[in-house]
């Protein structure tokens, strides 16, 4: 976020006050929504007992009839408010279970605080009983996902992912996987739009 904020300031300075204010307002909203996870309505899962979920476990009420579980890493944390705004007429409950930098796959490398979103995902699924599971997480920044597998039938990472999708399918009617995750490579030239007089981030857009 710091990098994008710097981008907004640089481009805003070049293009005018209105552009800068619009972008700063967007970043402020993004930060506000992310921080709101700490004060959201907390879901009480029986398997947790009296302890807290690591890192974010939030419950949002809607006017529909679906129970939706959104899980993953910080990409889920930045995405949830858009889902609340656009889909609250479809869901009865939207549950956010997310941990920054974590993947839901227990057989991949992760930090200790990722256990709830990874190892304990089956227990969360069993308690929530979601109609839909949405998974939004960034893979491409992890070394083990940077190179495509050479043998799909014998690759241990492919087997681990296949095992997790099969496990999740035992608890829900539909799985939605949001990939690829958006982002800018570390080598991205943030001054490129200014040099080319581009007005916004679409200067980085590439066709699929």
Instruction: List residues bridging with 94 in a β-sheet.
Output: 60, 68
pLDDT of 57 above 90: yes
Question: Three-class SS of residue 58?
Answer: strand
List pLDDT tens digits, range 182-201.
Answer: 766 677 776 776 677 766 65
Examine the domain organization and report whether 31 and 53 are in the same domain.
no
Strands 91-98 and 56-61: antiparallel
Does residue 190 sit within a domain? Answer: no
Does residue 193 sit within a domain? Answer: no
Range of the domain at 66: 40-185
Distances (CA, A) of 185 to 38, 159, 176, 182, 207: 29, 28, 25, 10, 16
* pLDDT score recorded for residue 175: 96
* Residue corresponding to tokens 């995405």: 79
Least confident of 4-8, 97-101, 134-138: 4-8
* pLDDT score recorded for residue 208: 46
Question: Three-class SS of residue 176?
Answer: strand
Examine the domain organization and report whether 169 and 140 are in the same domain.
yes
Number of H helices, E strands in the chain: 6, 5
List pLDDT tens digits, range 90-128.
Answer: 999 999 999 998 899 988 867 788 999 999 999 999 999
């Amino acid at each position: 976020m710091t990098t994008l904020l710097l981008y907004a300031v640089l481009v805003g300075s070049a293009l005018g006050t209105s552009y800068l204010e619009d972008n700063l307002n967007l970043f402020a909203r993004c930060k506000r929504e992310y921080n709101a996870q700490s004060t959201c309505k907390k879901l009480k899962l029986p398997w947790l007992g009296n302890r807290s979920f690591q890192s974010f476990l939030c419950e949002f009420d809607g006017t529909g009839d679906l129970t939706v579980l959104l899980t993953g890493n910080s990409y889920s944390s930045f995405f949830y408010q858009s889902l609340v705004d656009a889909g609250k007429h479809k869901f009865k409950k939207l549950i956010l279970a997310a941990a920054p930098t974590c993947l839901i796959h227990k057989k991949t490398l992760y930090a200790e605080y990722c256990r709830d979103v990874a190892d304990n995902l089956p227990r969360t699924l069993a308690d929530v009983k979601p109609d839909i599971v949405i998974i939004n997480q960034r893979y491409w920044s992890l070394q083990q996902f940077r190179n495509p597998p050479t043998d799909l039938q014998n690759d241990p990472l492919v087997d681990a992912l296949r095992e997790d999708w099969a496990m999740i399918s035992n608890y829900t009617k539909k799985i939605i996987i949001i990939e690829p995750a958006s982002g800018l490579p570390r080598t991205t030239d943030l001054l490129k739009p200014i040099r080319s007089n581009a007005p916004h981030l679409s200067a980085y857009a590439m066709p699929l």
